[in-house]
Structure 1
Amino acid sequence: MPPTPTVVLVHGAFADTAIWFGVVAELHSHGIPVLAPPNPLRGLAADAAHIASVAAQIDGPVVLAGHAYGGAVITEAGTADNVVALVYVAAPVLEEGETLSELHGRFPPTGPVGELRRWSYPVPGGGQGVEVTLTAEAFATVFAADVPAPVAEVLASCQPPLALAACEERATAAAWRSKPSWALVAGADRVIAPDVERFGAARAGATVVEIDGASHAVTLSQPTAVARLIRDAVHAVS
């Protein structure tokens, strides 16, 4: 009997590994090994290389699950030899050679452009890069509309910023072309338009579940449903 794959959970922008807490608990309750490493959020190539390195150091098969920007990361990182499946959760699904900005530009804007706060940070070799977070005022309504207000308030204060340059980096691979994929569409997502999620999932030939009324923070508000989809992927490749 083949070993049960390890699930590696990859968070996206504006939330760290805490976004997966409920999902981790659900997967543990079903005896599925889980790892939720930090995603550096410094750039698509660098982030994908980091996650691919984590996956490659795990003994046995790996199922990569990416939330939000984490979906772009697993699209590249999923080329690691021991990755056997991909799960996209309220996430974009990039094609090789495509940028996040190009994919989002195919559809009417629903994202949080006006609610972003810009920060500067030093880059190697000198100079300044630009990174973004959501404003605290917008976080609850844009990111976490179906999460209890006190939780959303804490998350808003704990946001990891995303380097803006990541949105303009071209994907160098599309692992879904050679590996099976699953996708969850958050029907009321205001960070990534549901149509973006649906388009990418259809392009990848993913097995799709849609949750009406779910916000971008669906991993927190609907952890059982998210974990169920991940378990489906695990069982399909076990």
Structure 2
Amino acid sequence: MVRTRSRLIAVAAALVLTAGTLIGVGPAAQAGGGKKAKPTVVLVHGAFADSSGWNGVVSRLARDGYPVISAANPLRGVASDAAQVKALLDSIKGPIVLVGHSYGGMVISKAAAGDKDVKALVYVAAFAPLAGESAGDLSAKFPGSTLAATLRPVKLPGGQQDLYVDPAKFHQQFAADVPARDAALMAVAQRPITAAALDEKAAGPQAWQKVPSYFLVAGGDKNIPPAVQYFEAKRAKAAAVRTVRSGSHAVFVSEPGITAAFIEKAARS
């Protein structure tokens, strides 16, 4: 009990220091030109998830001294979501490591294009498109995705549709390696994405064409086939690729330690 409490206190202290760094009063700001400040890590979630899914990753990065922001991704459309993330990036001083999960990869690829402060991109079971490709196009490039059969549409005003994963199928489809109790909570808290966002084509230069990219491949992914993730990594001439062989699409939840370590590898490079 004492050890558990000590660990919790240490993590909480790291989070407080990280928050201080983000507003300019933490250790990095006080270093006075001594030790080089660590880059800010910006985490962008994908469809059917929310920013709290990164909590296990955030606690580890914060413990290791990284300023962290877990961004809220609107999931309304690639161009509009990327513009919102870009606005966040523009508010950050210093180098950035930008991380995207799933559809979040579509967003970071556009948001970071031309941003000289973004030093590395990390794709976690994510899409990394070229101009003219949509998330739907990429997921169908190789067989293996079973997502479509699990989706439940909700009609929106104006003729649009929100898409949810059927809660009864969420565990096996999205988070098979996450404990059932946790996956059930994720299913309830999932954020929908518009059908239009999944069909929207990437436009213009994509950040991975210029910025070093790192790919964490989920070997048991039922949303984005692993073959798609390997294809993207090869096309991007990835600086590093790591595979979690049994990792589900929610590998950042089930394996926060591996995910955080991989992000830190990108941050150090």
TM range (shorter): over 0.9
- Select 1:136's aligned residue among 167, 183, 200: 167
TM-score by length of 2: 0.84
Aligned equivalents of 2:49, 2:219: Cα separation in 1 = 19
- 1:199 correspondence with 2:231: yes
Aligned equivalents of 1:108, 1:194: Cα separation in 2 = 10
Question: What CA deviation, in whole Å up to 9, does each residue of 1:135-159 have, x standing for no partner?
Answer: 0111000011111111111110111
Q: For residue 89 of structure 1, what is the aligned residue in structure 2? A: 124
- 1:179 correspondence with 2:231: no
- Select 1:227's aligned residue among 256, 260, 263: 260
Q: For residue 32 of structure 2, what is the aligned residue in structure 1? A: none
SS at match of 1:214: coil
Q: How does 1:98-113 map to 2 (within 5 A)?
A: 98-113=133-148
Aligned equivalents of 1:42, 1:120: Cα separation in 2 = 14
Aligned equivalents of 1:196, 1:111: Cα separation in 2 = 14
Question: What CA deviation, in whole Å up to 9, does each residue of 1:135-192 have, x standing for no partner?
Answer: 0111000011111111111110111100111122121231111110101000001111
Any runs of at least 4 consecutive aligned residues in structure 1 with deviations exceeding 4 A, and if so which?
A: none
Counting matched residue pairs gives: 232
Q: For residue 190 of structure 1, what is the aligned residue in structure 2? A: 222
By how many angstroms is 1:72 displaced? Answer: 1.0
- Select 1:22's aligned residue among 56, 61, 77: 56
| Unaligned segments of structure 1, at least 5 residues | none
By how many angstroms is 1:111 displaced? Answer: 3.0
By how many angstroms is 1:2 displaced? Answer: 4.4
Kindly indicate whether the alpha-carbon contact (under 8 Å) linking 1:65 and 1:89 is maintained by their aligned counterparts in 2: yes
- Select 2:70's aligned residue among 36, 47, 56: 36
By how many angstroms is 1:218 displaced? Answer: 0.6
Kindly indicate whether the alpha-carbon contact (under 8 Å) linking 1:184 and 1:226 is maintained by their aligned counterparts in 2: yes
Question: What CA deviation, in whole Å up to 9, does each residue of 1:70-96 have, x standing for no partner?
Answer: 111111111133211100001111012
Q: For residue 163 of structure 1, what is the aligned residue in structure 2? A: 194
Letter in structure 2 aligned against 1:180: P
Q: Which moved more, 1:105-114 or 1:86-95?
A: 105-114
SS at match of 1:197: helix
- Bigger-Rg structure (1/2): 2
By how many angstroms is 1:128 displaced? Answer: 2.4
Kindly indicate whether the alpha-carbon contact (under 8 Å) linking 2:144 and 2:222 is maintained by their aligned counterparts in 1: no
Kindly indicate whether the alpha-carbon contact (under 8 Å) linking 1:95 and 1:174 is maintained by their aligned counterparts in 2: yes
Q: Which moved more, 1:96-105 or 1:9-18?
A: 96-105
Kindly indicate whether the alpha-carbon contact (under 8 Å) linking 2:57 and 2:256 is maintained by their aligned counterparts in 1: yes
1:111–1:72 Cα change, 3 Å: farther
TM-score by length of 1: 0.94
Q: Which moved more, 1:72-81 or 1:211-220?
A: 72-81
Kindly indicate whether the alpha-carbon contact (under 8 Å) linking 2:42 and 2:68 is maintained by their aligned counterparts in 1: yes
Aligned equivalents of 1:118, 1:209: Cα separation in 2 = 34
Aligned equivalents of 2:224, 2:134: Cα separation in 1 = 14
| Unaligned segments of structure 2, at least 5 residues | 1-34
Aligned equivalents of 2:125, 2:262: Cα separation in 1 = 12
Letter in structure 1 aligned against 2:175: A
